[in-house]
């Protein structure tokens, strides 16, 4: 602590001391850059006269299109960062990865455009650095070298490999085929001699893999878990100080592994799990991107969930001093992932930290967790990264989708209506399943699942594929019968998200969220598709209203959509004739009743209640949708307290005119 204060007030002197005397480590908290609308990626590099400027790619909020902001982090005496420039405005739709070369060229991946941009150092227009369709859904990127020797590596979770671009070529080589499943971050590191190697973090297998430049696999290390040296959903990594610094996203920390002689051994870790809403100052909350400055003095971590980038510097000692009081906190408590489903007495959610499906019983005042459906592995009945669920048949049937195994699994749940609420670890039994990649004949990245007409001969199982932005349709026997995608008139889906069955008269239809991105001119392109069960596009709706929609649900003639960028729920109604019209919405950023932060899954339950998974607030909110009153909340205690702060559950002011108050 004292060492950190010394750094804050006398940076120049302290740096020399640290550099000169004995071992030092990266991980001493310095400052936070706040107010960044969903920072997705960070990098350090030269900008104008600054050798180590901080670049932050923000994927944007409701009123701010995506852009790369540049900060000078070394000039201010307190090491806080000041904005010195920006680039990429109007070119980016949803940036995912960022890297800056030694000459100041800026490389950005865009997951909606499915491309890699190279912005020249003089601030001019960017050029595409990848051929069309060379990348499936790119994420993290790194660059090393220059000119003919320049190497760029892109992690491509849509393709399940990393892509290596040599010397400015637009056609990459695939690295890690058959080894990588969902690579999210990639970086170059020093190998033995003068060799350059590639390290990739895989968020499905929870491992780091190291490859030679020719694609040869050197080794893989780590496994799923919350303990030291284990990982959960590693999102990004950076090479510095002879170590691989890994943003261990779902363990809410950074771990530094030795990268040379003792490759894969943990050197140290830092960043305790943020517990209270908004907690920072070294506490981390879903760290998603990491960068280290070229001189090894600064480390930046982006936390998109909290709209901030935290800066860490060096401190003396080979590793940070552990705070023993944090040991009692234990591994991160289960949070709610972005999906929710319900049927009968059960609600199913996915916990990102523990990669388990959790079944809650609704018969009490609030949902009470009664069972986990989980075991980590690749065999049938095991999960790597469960991402979505669908409950049907009065709660007797459970479908789960696992993006790590590219698998759909069907299970039966015991339903014992006469029993009192009781934890029941034996609630689920797995029945059968299907390998989605084998069915589709190509890499498949499942996201959401829904079922139409369960237990009938018209049963349709729908699974979204983020690799191709389409929806796979299976029949009850898990045989593929078609695909849903945009047509010539509507254009493709760009960022497939949530799914829901809907009804049009007596027929069933399918709603698919197209999260869209910001479009070339910075205008939000979110919308929802409605498909008929034959696969034909019936209509789209929500244009001009939805910024970054995610979840959708329908009941009778009403449709609700969550919007991650505005933190609102938008309401739509079916008109006679079938058209769908926006009729209002509610919400806005906050912790109170009817306020949200990154609302994701939404569900209109059989009994008419509306349940919203308020993902960024680690809670669910249950509403009476007719009167827009909050009935109950469930989830993290610190996030439920603000719901109860009102003496009684109060009606929320309906925001029927979206052009008005955005709720921020």
Partner 1 sequence: MRNSLLTLLALTALGCGPDEGPAANEAGGSATPSKETPASGAAEEVRGETLEASSSGGTFLARVTPLVDPIPMNEAFSVSLSLLDPETGAPFTDYDEVSIDARMPAHKHGMLRDVGLTPQEDGSMRADGLLLHMYGHWELHVDIRKGARFERAQISVRLQY
Partner 2 sequence: MSVRGRLGWLAPLALLAVGAACGPSPEQPAPPVGTAVGFSDEQVRRIMQMSPLPPLPPDPTNRHADDPRAARLGQALFFDERLSADGAVSCATCHDPERGFTDGKQLALGQQVGNRHTPTLWNVAHHRWLTWDGRADSLWMQALDPIEDPREMGTTRGKLARVIADDPGLSAAYEAAFGPMDSAALGDRPDHVRPARGREAASGPTAPEAVRAWADLDDDQRAAIDQVFVHAGKAMAAYQRLLVRGDSPFDRFVEGLRENDGEKVESLSPSAQRGLAMFIGKANCVLCHSGPNFSDGEFHNNALPTLHGGEARDPGRFDGARVVAASPFNAAGPHSDDPDGPAALRVRQLRQSSEAWGEFRTPSLRNLAHRAPFMHQGQFGDLEGVIEFYSELEGATGRGHHQEQVLVPLRLSVGEKADLSAFLAALEGDQADPGLLAPPSQSALSR
Judge whether 186 and 154 are in contact, CB under 8 Å.
Answer: yes
Whichever of 238 and 402 has its CB closer to partner 1, that residue is 402
Whichever of 412 and 453 has its CB closer to partner 1, that residue is 412
Q: Which residues pair with 58 in a beta bridge?
A: 39, 67
Among 431, 507, 536, 646, binds partner 1 (CB under 8 A): 431
Radius of gyration of the chain (CA): 24
Among 15, 213, 275, 376, binds partner 2 (CB under 8 A): 376
The reply on whether position 549 binds partner 1 by CB under 8 A is no
Judge whether 306 and 598 are in contact, CB under 8 Å.
Answer: no
Closest contact distance (angstroms) between CB of 481 and partner 2 is: 15
Whichever of 374 and 538 has its CB closer to partner 1, that residue is 374
How is residue 479 written in tokens? 């045989």
Whichever of 366 and 372 has its CB closer to partner 1, that residue is 372
SS3 content of the chain, % helix, strand, coil (to 5): 10, 45, 45
Judge whether 639 and 618 are in contact, CB under 8 Å.
Answer: yes
In sequence order, what are the residues at sequence separation of 6 or more whose Cβ sits closer than 8 angstroms to the Cβ of residue 224? 205, 206, 230, 231, 232, 355, 376, 384
Whichever of 405 and 515 has its CB closer to partner 1, that residue is 405
Closest contact distance (angstroms) between CB of 408 and partner 1 is: 10
Among 276, 326, 442, 664, binds partner 2 (CB under 8 A): 326
476 binds, among partner 1, partner 2, none (CB under 5 to 8 A by kind): partner 2
Site for partner 1 in 361-420 (CB under 8 A): 372, 374-375, 379-381, 407, 409-410, 412, 416
331 binds, among partner 1, partner 2, none (CB under 5 to 8 A by kind): partner 2
Count Cβ neighbours within 10 Å for each residue of 361-378 and write b for 16 or more, e otherwise.
bbeeeebeebbbbbebee
The reply on whether position 521 binds partner 1 by CB under 8 A is no
Whichever of 365 and 429 has its CB closer to partner 1, that residue is 429
What is d(CA 440, CA 408) in angstroms, rounded to the nearest whole number? 13
The reply on whether position 173 binds partner 2 by CB under 8 A is no
Whichever of 265 and 606 has its CB closer to partner 2, that residue is 265
Q: Please identify, among the stretches 132-140, 173-181, 325-333, 487-495, the one whose residues bind partner 2 according to the rule CB under 8 A.
A: 325-333
Q: What 3-state DSSP class applies to 7?
A: helix
The reply on whether position 224 binds partner 2 by CB under 8 A is yes
Among 12, 194, 328, 506, binds partner 2 (CB under 8 A): 328
Q: What 3-state DSSP class applies to 533?
A: coil
Whichever of 15 and 382 has its CB closer to partner 2, that residue is 382
The reply on whether position 421 binds partner 2 by CB under 8 A is no
Whichever of 78 and 432 has its CB closer to partner 2, that residue is 432
Q: Count interface residues toward partner 1 (CB under 8 A).
A: 24
Whichever of 24 and 464 has its CB closer to partner 1, that residue is 464
How is residue 20 written in tokens? 């000169």
The reply on whether position 430 binds partner 1 by CB under 8 A is yes
Neighbour-count burial of 645, counting CB atoms closer than 10 A to its CB (0-12 exposed, 13-18 middle, 19+ buried): exposed
Three-state SS sequence of 83-152: EEEEECCCCCCCEEEEEECCCCCEEEEECCCCEEEEECCCCCCCEECCCCCCCCCCCCEEEECCHHHCEE
Encoded one letter per residue, x for contact with partner 2 by CB under 8 A and - for no contact, window 329-348 reads -xx--x--------------
Closest contact distance (angstroms) between CB of 327 and partner 2 is: 5
Q: Return the H-helix or E-strand segment holding 237.
A: strand 234-240
261 binds, among partner 1, partner 2, none (CB under 5 to 8 A by kind): partner 2
Whichever of 226 and 533 has its CB closer to partner 2, that residue is 226
Judge whether 300 and 309 are in contact, CB under 8 Å.
Answer: yes
The reply on whether position 327 binds partner 2 by CB under 8 A is yes
Residue 598, by phi and psi: left (phi above 0), alpha (psi -120 to 50) or beta?
left
In sequence order, what are the residues at sequence separation of 6 or more whose Cβ sits closer than 8 angstroms to the Cβ of residue 310? 29, 31, 32, 33, 280, 282, 284, 300, 301, 303
The reply on whether position 356 binds partner 2 by CB under 8 A is yes
Q: Which residues pair with 255 in a beta bridge?
A: 246, 269
Site for partner 2 in 458-477 (CB under 8 A): 476-477
Q: Please identify, among the stretches 32-40, 239-247, 350-358, 623-631, the one whose residues bind partner 2 according to the rule CB under 8 A.
A: 350-358
What DSSP string describes 542-587? -TTT-SSEEEEEEETTEEEEEETTTTEEEEEEEPTTS-EEEEEEEE
Three-state SS sequence of 389-432: EEEEHHHCEEEEEECCCCEEEEEEECCCCCCCCCCCCCCEEEEE
The reply on whether position 230 binds partner 2 by CB under 8 A is yes
The reply on whether position 459 binds partner 1 by CB under 8 A is no
What is d(CA 351, CA 358) in angstroms, rounded to the nearest whole number? 7
Neighbour-count burial of 416, counting CB atoms closer than 10 A to its CB (0-12 exposed, 13-18 middle, 19+ buried): exposed
521 binds, among partner 1, partner 2, none (CB under 5 to 8 A by kind): none
Site for partner 1 in 466-505 (CB under 8 A): 478
Site for partner 2 in 112-131 (CB under 8 A): none
Q: What 3-state DSSP class applies to 19?
A: helix
The reply on whether position 429 binds partner 1 by CB under 8 A is yes
Residue closest to 97 by CA, chosen among 124, 115, 120: 115
The reply on whether position 127 binds partner 1 by CB under 8 A is no
Among 283, 401, 434, 545, binds partner 1 (CB under 8 A): 434
Among 17, 435, 543, 573, binds partner 1 (CB under 8 A): 435
What is d(CA 209, CA 187) in angstroms, rounded to the nearest whole number? 11
Whichever of 429 and 664 has its CB closer to partner 2, that residue is 429
The reply on whether position 439 binds partner 1 by CB under 8 A is yes
Binding site for partner 2 (CB under 8 A): 223-230, 261-262, 265, 322, 324, 326-328, 330-331, 334, 351, 353-356, 372, 374-377, 412, 425, 429, 431, 476-477
Binding site for partner 1 (CB under 8 A): 372, 374-375, 379-381, 407, 409-410, 412, 416, 425-426, 429-436, 438-439, 478
């Amino acid at each position: 602590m004292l060492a950190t204060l010394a750094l804050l007030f006398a940076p120049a002197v302290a740096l020399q001391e640290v550099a000169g005397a004995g071992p030092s480590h990266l991980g001493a908290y310095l400052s936070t850059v706040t107010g960044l609308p969903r920072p997705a990626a960070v990098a350090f590099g030269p900008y104008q006269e600054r050798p180590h400027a901080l670049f932050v790619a923000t994927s944007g909020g409701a009123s701010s299109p995506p852009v790369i902001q540049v900060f000078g982090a070394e000039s201010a005496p307190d090491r806080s960062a000041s904005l010195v420039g920006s680039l990429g405005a109007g070119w980016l739709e949803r940036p995912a990865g960022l890297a800056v070369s030694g000459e100041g060229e800026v490389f950005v991946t865009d997951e909606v455009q499915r491309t890699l941009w190279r912005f020249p150092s003089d601030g001019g227009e960017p050029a595409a650095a990848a051929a069309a369709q060379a990348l499936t859904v790119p994420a993290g990127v790194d660059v090393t070298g220059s000119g003919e020797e320049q190497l760029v590596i892109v992690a491509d979770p849509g393709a399940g490999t990393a892509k290596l671009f040599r010397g400015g070529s637009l056609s990459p080589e695939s690295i890690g085929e058959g080894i990588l499943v969902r690579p999210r971050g990639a970086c170059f590191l020093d190998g033995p001699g003068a060799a350059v190697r590639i390290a990739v973090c895989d968020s499905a297998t929870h491992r780091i893999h190291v490859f030679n430049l020719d694609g040869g696999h050197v080794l893989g290390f780590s496994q799923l878990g919350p303990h030291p040296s284990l990982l959960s959903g590693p999102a990004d990594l950076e090479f510095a100080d002879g170590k691989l610094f890994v943003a261990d996203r779902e363990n809410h920390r950074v771990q530094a592994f030795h990268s040379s002689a003792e490759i894969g051994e943990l050197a140290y870790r830092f960043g305790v799990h943020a517990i209270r809403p908004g907690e920072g100052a070294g506490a981390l909350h879903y760290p998603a991107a990491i960068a280290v400055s070229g001189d090894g003095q600064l480390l930046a971590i982006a936390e998109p969930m909290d709209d901030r980038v935290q800066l860490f510097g060096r401190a003396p000692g080979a590793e940070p001093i552990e705070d023993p009081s944090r040991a009692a906190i234990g591994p991160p408590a289960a949070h709610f992932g972005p999906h929710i489903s319900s049927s009968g007495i059960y609600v199913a959610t996915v916990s990102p930290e523990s990669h388990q499906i959790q079944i809650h019983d609704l018969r009490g005042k609030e949902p009470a967790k009664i069972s986990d459906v989980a075991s980590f592995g690749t065999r049938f009945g095991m999960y790597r990264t469960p991402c979505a669920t669908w409950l049907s048949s009065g709660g007797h049937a459970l479908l789960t989708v696992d993006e790590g195994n590219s698998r759909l699994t069907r299970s039966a749940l015991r339903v014992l209506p006469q029993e009192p609420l009781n934890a029941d670890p034996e609630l689920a039994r797995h029945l059968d399943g299907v390998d989605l990649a084998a069915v589709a004949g190509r890499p498949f990245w499942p996201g959401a699942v829904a079922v139409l007409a369960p237990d009938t001969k018209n049963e349709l199982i729908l699974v979204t594929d983020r690799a191709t932005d389409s929806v796979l349709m299976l029949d009850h026997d898990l045989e593929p019968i078609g695909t849903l995608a945009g047509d010539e008139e509507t254009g493709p889906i760009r960022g497939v998200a949530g799914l829901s069955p809907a009804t049009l008269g007596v027929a069933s239809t399918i709603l698919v969220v197209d999260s869209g991105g910001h479009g070339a001119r910075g205008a939000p392109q979110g919308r929802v598709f409605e498909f008929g069960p034959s696969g034909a596009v019936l209509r789209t709706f929500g244009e001009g209203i939805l910024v970054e929609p995610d979840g959708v649900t329908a009941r009778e003639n009403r449709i609700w959509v969550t919007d991650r960028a505005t933190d609102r729920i938008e309401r739509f109604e079916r008109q006679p004739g079938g058209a769908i019209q926006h009729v209002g919405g509610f919400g806005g950023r906050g912790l109170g009743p009817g306020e949200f932060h990154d609302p994701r899954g939404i569900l209109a339950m059989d009994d008419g209640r509306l349940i919203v998974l308020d993902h960024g607030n680690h809670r669910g909110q249950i509403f009476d949708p007719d009167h827009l009153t909050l009935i109950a909340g469930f989830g993290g205690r610190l996030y439920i307290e603000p719901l109860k702060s009102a003496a009684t559950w109060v009606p929320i002011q309906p925001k029927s005119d979206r052009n008005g108050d955005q709720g921020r």
